[in-house]
Structure 1
Amino acid sequence: MDELVKKLIKKYKTNCPFELCRALGIHVRFMNLGEGTKGLYYRKLRRRFIVIHNELSLEWQRFVCAHELGHDRLHKGINRFFLEESSYFAPGKLERQANRFAVLLLTAAASPEQDESLESYYSRLGIPPEVGFFLEP
């Protein structure tokens, strides 16, 4: 997965998930998805879509876009929902992979400073601090 992220960034010269989606032809839309759903990814008639809950903070919108982009890159042909309830407590393998992809993508441009906490590192990069729950030990 590290190589996949590195290749994407190198090819498109950005780690911004919104710019990557634009370059890859993935349509990003914002709408009210109701309580508990932060975003979703789906394919319809060979077109790819990411829908992000429009009431999320900007940092969460960015993370969700990166997460759903992870589904596009890692889980071809599978439509997945990023549900708050299942993601926080018992994410399945595909969700954990998409979360890891998102963190790798969003942290690719910087490294933690010496003695910097994970929470501070994420905050500096505009990543929601709760994301630490998403990483595999």
Structure 2
Amino acid sequence: MVLYKKIEEQTFNILSELEINTPNKIDVFKIAKHLGVDVKPATLDSSISGLFVIKEQKPYIRYNDSEAPQRQKFTIAHELGHFVLHKDIPLFVEKNETVLYRNLDSTTGELLKEKEANSFAASLLMPKFMIDEQIENIPQGKDPVIYLSKIFKVSSQAMYYRLNNLSYSFLGMY
């Protein structure tokens, strides 16, 4: 089991290596390239948001090109989570090919590996240190979840879950 504090540290280190210190610099394609992962859109079944595949020892991510950009971004970050956290404990499909994919089970966090990948994605796309900085900038009377989701270019649902998991007290009004 990967500890969630370790996930926070891993994403912080990745962002630091790339000198990403503001929300507008978070680019999942740049991060994937830095990690050596090939990322491309694909036409996938509507029940599959993305795939992480290791083929001939090379990592690939394919994401559903028919989904909303915010969902694609989270899916890529989720699949990067599988690469960073789970590449050594793969699901074998063929002798030299491994596949992990994001579907409805991963959205609801049914499996531990899926929860960890979701946590990685949330931490990568909405780092706590950046959220802490941005909270101070929320204009009076603005909905913090909606405001922050626009700053980080993620869905309001993803931002709500992230803030809730980080135990921000202002969420008590929701």
CA deviation string 1:26-67 (max 9, x = no partner): 111111111111101010001100000011122111111111
- Of residues 35-44 and 4-13 in structure 1, the stretch that sits farther from structure 2 once superposed is 4-13
Contiguous gaps of at least 5 residues in structure 1: none
Deviation sequence 1:107-131 (CA, Å, 0-9, x none): 1272242575334322331112232
Count of residues paired in the alignment? 136
How does 1:78-93 map onto structure 2 within 5 Å? 78=90, 79-83=99-103, 85-93=104-112
Larger displacement relative to structure 2 (40-49 or 6-15): 6-15
| C-alpha displacement of 1:2 | 1.2
Q: Quick check: 2:106–2:118 contact (8 Å CA) kept in 1?
A: no
> Residue 6 of structure 1 aligns with which residue?
12
In the alignment, what sits opposite 1:94?
113
C-alpha change, 1:110 and 1:133, in structure 2 (3 Å) is closer
C-alpha distance in 1 between matches for 2:82 and 2:146: 25
Question: Aligned equivalents of 2:71 and 2:40: distance in 1?
Answer: 14
* SS, match of residue 130 in structure 2: coil
Determine what percentage of the aligned residue pairs are the same residue.
21
Measured on the aligned residues, the alpha-carbon RMSD in Å equals 2.3
Return closer, same or farther for 1:56/1:10 CA change in 2, 3 Å cut-off: same
SS at match of 2:135: coil
In the alignment, what sits opposite 1:76?
A: 87
5+ residue gaps in structure 2? Answer: 1-6, 21-25, 91-98, 168-174
What letter matches 2:62 in structure 1? V
CA distance in 2, matches of 1:87, 1:98: 8
Cα separation, 2, equivalents of 1:45 and 1:94 = 23
Q: Which residue of 1 aligns with 2:94?
A: none
| Match in the other structure for 1:103 | 122
Tell me the TM-score normalised to structure 1 length.
0.85
Retained in 2: the 8 A contact 1:88–1:133? no
Worse overlay, 119-128 or 93-102: 119-128
User: Which shows bigger deviation, 66-75 or 106-115?
Assistant: 106-115
Amino acid at match of 2:105: S
d(CA) in 2 for partners of 1:94 and 1:119?
28
The amino acid across from 2:144 in the alignment is S
